Amino acid sequence: MCARLSSSRLASDGRPVIEVESVRFDSGSVFLAGTAVTFEGTVRLCSYIGEELVTVSHCQASAGGPRRGQWSMSMVIPSAADRLVVGQVEMEETRPEVARGDRVVIDLRRAGRRADDQGSEGRPQAGEVNGGGEPGGRPQAAS
């Protein structure tokens, strides 16, 4: 299965470090699932309002790097949140350019989420989601 959304940096298996295969909004919460090659298998989800970090959630993938693991998580997000960032916990020594490539940014203003969503599935388009919120990310088409 091809990931719908993915980070820009590739893992040792030739696939993106973070792959998001499913994004679903439901009554103020978001549910995400995918695969990742992350340190100790930890995947982190953050919501932001502007530059302010608002909520953080973590989950454990079924395997830690260098192996790829399946992950899924849900989190209540504030209605004012404008983006979600899926990534891994960054170590002190992580270079900024590497950290930017190891995450997926979901722009909630363009992803079709509304405060009154009842079980809708967000379908972000290319350019709305990419590694680090900068041009050049790797959105993938669903297969």
Q: How far apart are CA 103 and CA 83, in angstroms?
A: 12
Q: How far apart are CA 58 and CA 15, in angstroms?
A: 22
Q: What are the residue boundaries of the structural domains of the chain, listed by start?
A: 5-111
Q: Which helix (H) or strand (E) holds 38?
A: none
Looking at residue 81, its amino acid is: A
Pick one of 1.10.10, 3.30.1560, 3.30.70, 2.60.40 as the CATH number of 5-111.
Answer: 2.60.40
Spatial CA neighbour of 108 closest among 89, 76, 85, 139? 85
Write the pLDDT tens digit of every residue in 44-92.
Answer: 999 999 999 999 999 999 999 999 999 999 999 999 999 999 998 876 6
Q: What pLDDT sits at residue 84?
A: 95
Token pair 């998001």 is found at: 20
